[in-house]
Amino acid sequence: MARRLPILLVLLGATLLLAVTVEGQFGQRGGARGRRGFNRQARVASAEDFDGRFNFCRIVFRNALDGDGGGWSVDYPRADENLSIRLSELTKTPISLDSDGAPNHLLVHLTDPELLDCPFVMMTEPGGAFLDPNEAAGLRNYLLKGGFLWADDFWGEYAWSHWVRELRKALPASEYPIADLMPDHPLFSAQFQVAKVPQIPSIGFYFGGGTSERGADSAVAHARGIQDRNGRLMAVMTFNTDVGDSWEREGDDPQYFLAFGPAGYALGINVVLYALTH
């Protein structure tokens, strides 16, 4: 049975306030990572990394000259680490850990054979992405074989149109239409009840005022999806929102965290659980 979002607010809010009081930042296993993170080097996935537990897999991609986005590494690595930690604490999902006890999160290219070992992958700021024919074929093969893609953090119609153009190299519109996910979609109640897609700005934009990073052009946050021919949701795209920043910035500022962390984690955990179980 799904829990109510206010419960998550209480749990995560209490965790943050305790950590700020005692340590000034999250630095011990069992809590999410703050500004310093784990100080780990980027790790490209290899077959040996997959031990049957959850790995957060992030797609590495090139940026197009005419794109709109900061690149694959936005929110990396703390978003990947923090969501993995919270997933292990708020669900029964076992996560893969390295020899230091840190989440074993991985980087993958769309042409890597290890892509097929990731049941869940994430792309950040896809409004700037470029996919060549081999990468598009890799993405298509991955999704049609049962994989799940989450694309997050792109704002405004130009970024959306650019992403759709690249995505259509892999999934033609005639076969795979894009549709907004309705509030009663089971993804929104996979564990937590998420009533609407939260609009989460980057921490820098938030303290400059407001939540819509492109003004009227990005006023409404959306979750849009693509199904395979059997009706399985295989891609979700959170547009006009930066869900990943709510995980990355957990230890940076209590005001930002309390405003966006609970909603960001609720949606994040729901998406991962849905991807792992469908």
Rg of the chain over CA atoms, in angstroms?
A: 18
Give SS3 for 173: coil
**Using CA atoms, how far apart are residues 113 and 110, in angstroms rounded to an integer?**
8
pLDDT digits (tens, 9 = 90+) for 174-183: 999 999 999 9
- Choose between 37 and 92: higher pLDDT: 92
Confidence tier at 208 by pLDDT (50, 70, 90): confident
Distance separating alpha carbons of residues 269 and 86, to the nearest angstrom: 8
Stretch 88-106: mean pLDDT: 95
**Residue 37: is its pLDDT beyond 80?**
no
Q: How far apart are the C-alpha atoms of 54 and 109, rounded to whole Å?
A: 18
Helix or strand run (H / E) with residue 150: strand 149-152
Give yes or no for residue 245 having a pLDDT over 80: yes
Could you report the per-residue pLDDT of 229-239, keeping only the tens digit for each? 999 999 999 99
Residue 3 confidence (pLDDT): 42
Alpha-carbon distance of 118 to 88, in angstroms, equals 17
Q: Confidence band (pLDDT; 50, 70, 90) for 40? A: low
CA distance linking residue 180 with residue 161, whole number of Å: 15
Lowest mean pLDDT among 80-84, 153-157, 190-194, 208-212: 208-212
Question: Which pLDDT score is estimated for 215?
Answer: 96
Backbone φ and ψ of 104, nearest 5°: -90, 75
Q: Residue 161: count other Cβ atoms within 10 Å of its Cβ.
A: 11
Strand order in the sheet with 178-180: 106-109, 57-60, 121-124, 149-152, 233-239, 222-227, 178-180
Give the domains, in start order, of the chain with CATH numbers.
Answer: 5-277 (3.40.50.12140)
The Cβ-side half-sphere exposure at 23, using a 13 Å CA radius, reads 17
The number of C-alpha atoms within 13 Å of 13 and in the hemisphere containing its C-beta is 13
Nearest in space to 253 (alpha carbons), one of 211, 197, 208, 204 = 204
d(CA 146, CA 144): 5
Judged on CB neighbours under 10 Å (0-12, 13-18, 19+), 271 is buried
Residue 41 is predicted with a pLDDT of: 63
Phi then psi for 35, rounded to 5 degrees? -60, -35
Distance CA 133, CA 169 (A): 7
